[in-house]
Structure 1
């Protein structure tokens, strides 16, 4: 890889949006061409965005994730804690994180923003699982239903964007059963514990998951908390009314929903299941999962 002193490195993932992001290649290169402070590097394999980020990380650089939430996830996990500033050019399927970071710009985003904006700090979610494995998430984590939906979305290559999430939801729901969990939530001044089957479990830094679902309507990226949303076991036929509530963000007052702000969450799974972080799938997760907030853990532009 050519090393140079470019201030802005655009890490372009043509596989984002199930390969449709490839069509943005010429557009992006034309926008960046002529700028002596900027360079586009295109990923060529899974995990390459993280490898590029590690290779290019240095003082005063800004790494721009050109893709979806998964591309951001890879880059952040490569450089978190190194003082590197991250930008986001949303060309993925759902683009959930940017909808909280810059909700007014999602439909009119271009690269001029990166040259004019100032940096700000946002929180991260830190996750330990398995045999001392560790990852960060910038937007959301889900276990059970949402993990299975993320896995189905990856497998459904013929549907684009948010429609893919709706299809995956219906597909997963057909034979889904609530997942037995032991959950310990550390609140600001107390601890909450649950020992029961759970229909849906999510921990969010941002407000939105799956494109349109306002799972955490009170979430703030820099408040020092993660928002926990748990739907208790409900009959499957009743779940559709919760889908409508999730879309509007009005589910949080429902008696079957637990919604709170936490600094840490501990989950114990008795049987292996699917977990996602920022839409990236982690399969066959079992045992103890420890989730905590890293206040102001990431610099973004």
Structure 2
């Protein structure tokens, strides 16, 4: 698979792509980690176009790539690329794939940057960073330009998250998406969200914010957000800041089913915080206690907790992400001097 100086790398094990140990990458070389299963196969279809677009946008940088074979392989592939010397890693997939490659960078301690290309279902982190991840050519130009933004990340059960951690209705929607094979992206999430509005019963949880204990409450959904958007476009934490060193908690109290649909509409618009059933908090650490080990989502990936208690924290300014350079405002032209009388 050649495109400019794109490198087709043979598989060293179970993954479909891997690294050879020949040349040490130059500073501008790029490694692409592709989740071929993301977006119901869209990731696989994007592999060659992404490699070609990056080779063209960089004007000749070496572009290595590998395709994962199983869920989570992206971490090992990214770690191999970092060990060989690559310092720009592009993840092709959804929020889960981006998170896996981000976790590899964070665990390595290497100063490397993460690039985002959308090949998955949600792809929400890019919305908070204004990365044109859905447009392969535009995303490649962002990577080639090399401008980065350093963002905070969250922590849960020894792993990092870049976007959000969610409990309750949120995870019920994700589980429902597994049963639908005729939609993808935002329409898939919206369809399953509407179905679960009338099915999900709610759950009890006790929340402590920065060590301050709280009462046990019945919830519909609980989201702890590092970024603003989740679920394919829902503006769950419209005031979240990826660089403030804090996480935003958005708690939705359980409510009658007739109230749920209007709340979902307001969630799409980002106006849900006005509702009486919605409570928000901002902190560095949240401690949650459930009636048993909960299921939850971390950047769109399903997990079952190892305990009924979870601590969710923040790591400030932890990860560099390749983003569009800020627009440069042109200074207004000075008015011509008046002609002498």
Query: Given the two structures, how large is their TM-score scaled by the length of structure 1?
Result: 0.90
In the alignment, structure 1 residue 70 sits paired with structure 2 residue 87: no
Query: How do 1:107-146 residues align onto structure 2 when only pairs under 5 Å count?
Result: 108=135, 109-128=138-157, 134-146=158-170
Moved over 6 A (4+): none
In the alignment, structure 1 residue 227 sits paired with structure 2 residue 245: no
Task: Report how many residues are paired.
Answer: 292
In the alignment, structure 1 residue 5 sits paired with structure 2 residue 5: no
1:111-150 superposed Cα distances (whole Å, 9 cap, x missing partner): 121121322210000012xxxxx21110011011101212
- Identify the residue that residue 180 of structure 1 maps to in structure 2: 204
SS in 2 for 1:95: coil
Higher RCO (CA 8 Å, separation ≥ 6 residues) = 1
Distance 1:11 1:47 in 2: 11
Distance 2:174 2:134 in 1: 24
- Identify the residue that residue 149 of structure 1 maps to in structure 2: 173
Determine which of 165, 187, 199 is the counterpart of 2:189: 165
What's the CA shift for 1:254? 1.9
8 A contact 2:197–2:261 mirrored in 1: no
- Identify the residue that residue 298 of structure 2 maps to in structure 1: 277
- Identify the residue that residue 281 of structure 2 maps to in structure 1: 260
8 A contact 2:202–2:254 mirrored in 1: yes
Determine which of 114, 120, 128 is the counterpart of 1:100: 128
Query: Given the two structures, how large is their TM-score scaled by the length of structure 2?
Result: 0.80
SS in 2 for 1:271: coil
Name stretches of at least 5 consecutive residues in structure 1 with no aligned partner: 129-133
- Identify the residue that residue 51 of structure 1 maps to in structure 2: 76
Distance 2:297 2:190 in 1: 17
SS in 2 for 1:162: helix
Question: Residue 266 and residue 65 in structure 1: after superposition, are their counterparts in 2 closer, same or farther (change >3 A)?
Answer: same
Distance 1:106 1:33 in 2: 17
What's the CA shift for 1:40? 2.0
SS in 2 for 1:207: coil
8 A contact 2:151–2:242 mirrored in 1: yes
Name stretches of at least 5 consecutive residues in structure 2 with no aligned partner: 1-18, 323-341
What's the CA shift for 1:60? 6.1
Question: Residue 283 and residue 152 in structure 1: after superposition, are their counterparts in 2 closer, same or farther (change >3 A)?
Answer: farther
8 A contact 1:32–1:40 mirrored in 2: no
